Amino acid sequence: MKNFIKSKNFTIAVVGATGAVGAEFIELLHFNGVSPDRVRLFASERSAGRSISIGGKSVVIESLKQGCFHGVGVAFFSAGKGISKLWAAQAIAAGAWVVDNSSAFRMDSAVPLVIPEVNANALDVCKGPSIVAVPNCSTIVALVAATPLHRVAKVRRMTVATYQAASGAGAAAMRELELQAKAFVEKTPMRTEIFGRQYLFNCFSHNSAIGPEGYNEEEAKLLYETRKIWSDESVRITATCVRVPVLRAHCEAIGLEFERPLTEVRARELLGAAPGVEVVDDRINNRFPEPLHATGRNPVFVGRIRADWSLPPDMGLQMFVAGDQIRIGAALTGWNIAELIAARI
């Protein structure tokens, strides 16, 4: 994708600059050559006045206040849905596009929910500065991998089991996992403030709220967001989302049932040519996607590609994927959306 953002002259705001996703977005700004003079950083009152270095230049963190988005072209929000609901409209009123990484607007029918590799055309409904929602991380990782196959064979049913890293719960959860490892080595009590239980050497149901049907919010997001992104209310999806003691990068075991036949060989060809996908499928050496290999990298890694024995021949596949939740699952997708916006400005 052409670096439209670098070539334009508008200012970029990062709301939630001190969080894990905000920090990753700032890194992408620097990596892609955006001048620090075109960047404004926002965070909570307690962080206001501190500085963050971008390309060797200090940028002072500001607090949100009336009129703060004047002159901003694109505002990237990663400070939680409460902040997004309070401030996104003000950013748009000031003439800024909002790329929102929270859950605040994802299921709003008037707001496009976009994965650039999957449904970039969803932006066509926007005729001027608008809110564009970034999907949930587990949805992004799943659909970057599944959509190339869906386009050819149409997915009738998708089953997903996620193995979600601490990064999905933010920088504090990552730090607590590190501290628990240190406490284990030093034989001292472990802090359990984030999840209320030991995370190290453990796995447990995703910590989002569980609804009356027994599914937690993370599992429901996979269903409803996928239907919106694919514009297909008929696709059947079920998920089980679990936290695992990994710092960064989510993994998912995905089963796909198709409406039209798709061979394993053809699926490999499609995935090998798909944007945002890297196939890692070495059966001889038992090398497949792993969170350590995905950490800090852009693609969704796909492997364990094999026929689903529970279905008729060529009517289903199983695969295992890994993607960095902070990067492709949040900041990089937001960046790529901002690039699509920049191409329109």
Number of Cβ within 10 Å of residue 332's Cβ equals 23
CA atoms within 13 A on the CB side of 85: 8
Let me know: does 138 contact 224? Beta carbons within 8 Å: no
Q: Which amino acid is at 149?
A: L
φ and ψ of 224, to 5 deg: -70, -35
Q: Which of 79, 123, 162, 142 is nearest to 341 (CA)?
A: 123
DSSP reduced 3-state for 143:
helix
Let me know: does 213 contact 239? Beta carbons within 8 Å: no
DSSP reduced 3-state for 128:
coil
CB within 8 Å of 244: residues ≥ 6 apart:
163, 164, 165, 203, 251
The strand order across the sheet containing 11-15 reads 51-54, 57-63, 39-43, 11-15, 72-77, 97-100, 131-133
d(CA 56, CA 60): 13
d(CA 48, CA 329): 27
Q: Is 293 among the residues known to form the active site?
A: no
Catalytic pick among 68, 137, 241, 251 = 137
Q: Are strands 57-63 and 51-54 parallel, antiparallel or unpaired?
A: antiparallel
Q: Which of 289, 262, 17 is nearest to 148 (CA)?
A: 262
Q: Is 137 among the residues known to form the active site?
A: yes
Catalytic pick among 150, 206, 250, 251 = 250
The strand order across the sheet containing 316-323 reads 204-205, 236-243, 155-164, 250-258, 316-323, 300-307, 277-279
The four Cα atoms 161, 163, 168, 171 give a dihedral, to 10 degrees, of 170
Catalytic residues: 137, 250
